[in-house]
Structure 1
């Protein structure tokens, strides 16, 4: 199986698990594609900082902070103080 197909299958599996886990608890229609990229980045990194996530995704720190706050408010991620 090619790497891109395998990655797509992993992403699809994660989305299905996310949907099943949060069914009824989170309005998934509030999540955009970029939010899914942030969730994937957080999942791949071990306790990442906002700066680390920003660099990985090529986004500004304020933009990353906005999306992290959105995901936190939906209960999809928790923010740890260092």
Structure 2
């Protein structure tokens, strides 16, 4: 139960961790493998769009997947303690 609660807390905070208050949507979509993305429905910046359309939207906007933080790396960063906000990228 403790591990499940810890993971739910980390995962719930992930899209918002170290996001500037003036950043659009105050959240970010994270880079995940397609199989995992299906389970996560990773769509914080465009919550009304079907999550299956997000990869095409990113391509249409010229966004490279490498511009988005990796999901599990971002999760581990939350466990590293307080850090300056702008070091995420």
Shorter-chain TM-score category?
0.3 to 0.5
> Which structure has the highest helix share of the two?
1
The TM-score with structure 1 as length reference comes to 0.36
Return the TM-score normalized by structure 2: 0.34
Q: Relative contact order (alpha carbons < 8 A, sep ≥ 6): 1 or 2 greater?
A: 2
